[in-house]
């Protein structure tokens, strides 16, 4: 439940940022597309096992495809590939703030790179790789770098709240075994 709320809040923040910084299709314009929802997905699913990780990534990508980007299976397949890649990377990374920020920025780059390659191969875009780096990816990494730090801190606050809530429930249910006496 908390993860769903976290995804929703981050995705809504993505939509608000996209209204404040609208994209442009002109060649010389810098483009910034926020990836807060994607980062929240990466931070949450890195704790799941492989099947749950892949299902969650695919379903979230399908929602992004159908309701936000108006594509079909592009983001779902891309997020699925990111989930598989995350399976490899998460074994070698810890849970510190810096490692989480680096993980999110690296996955944003890989996601954007996969989408760029798809658009280049299918003929949707004729933008060169250098042009893509300059006009799109540079501002995307810089802008999302600041926002990713906030998402990582929000995710840590959410996890701390969930741990405190679970600890409180366990303490209320705690049976004092040393006061009970058996009846013989």
Q: Which of 29-38, 44-53, 91-100, 133-142 has the lowest mean pLDDT?
A: 29-38
- Ordered by where they begin, the domains of the chain are 2-179 (1.10.1760)
Question: Quick check: 132 and 33 in contact, CB under 8 A?
Answer: no
Which pLDDT tens digit goes with each residue over 37-76? 999 999 999 889 999 999 999 999 999 889 888 888 999 9
Is the pLDDT higher at 184 or at 5? 5
Angle between helices 97-122 and 36-45 (to 10 degrees): 120
Closest CA to 109 of 73, 75, 151, 138: 138
CA distances for 154 relative to 23, 25, 75, 141, angstroms: 26, 32, 24, 19
C-alpha closest to that of 130 among 144, 118, 145, 120: 120
For the stretch 5-42, pLDDT in tens is: 888 899 899 889 888 877 665 656 667 788 899 999 99
Q: Is 92 in contact with 118 (CB distance < 8 Å)?
A: no
Q: Taking a C-beta distance cutoff of 8 angstroms, is the pair 174, 127 a contact?
A: no
pTM of the model: 0.84
Q: Identify the pLDDT of residue 102.
A: 92
Does residue 93 register a pLDDT over 90? no
């Amino acid at each position: 439940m908390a993860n769903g709320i976290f995804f929703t809040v981050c995705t809504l923040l993505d939509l608000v940022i996209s209204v404040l910084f609208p994209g442009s299709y002109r060649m010389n314009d810098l483009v910034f597309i926020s990836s807060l929802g994607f980062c929240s997905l990466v931070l949450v699913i890195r704790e799941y096992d492989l099947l749950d990780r892949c299902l969650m990534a695919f379903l979230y990508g399908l929602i992004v495809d159908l309701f936000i980007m108006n594509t079909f299976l592009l983001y779902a397949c891309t997020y699925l590939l990111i989930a598989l890649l995350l399976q490899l990377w998460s074994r070698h990374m810890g849970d510190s703030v810096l490692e989480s920020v680096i993980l999110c920025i690296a996955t944003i780059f890989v996601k954007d790179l996969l989408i760029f390659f798809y658009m280049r191969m299918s003929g949707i875009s004729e933008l060169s790789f250098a042009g893509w780096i300059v006009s799109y990816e540079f501002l995307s990494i810089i802008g999302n770098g600041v926002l990713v730090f906030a998402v990582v801190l929000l995710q840590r606050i959410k996890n701390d709240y969930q741990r405190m809530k679970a600890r409180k429930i366990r303490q209320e249910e705690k049976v004092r075994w040393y006061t009970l006496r058996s009846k013989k």
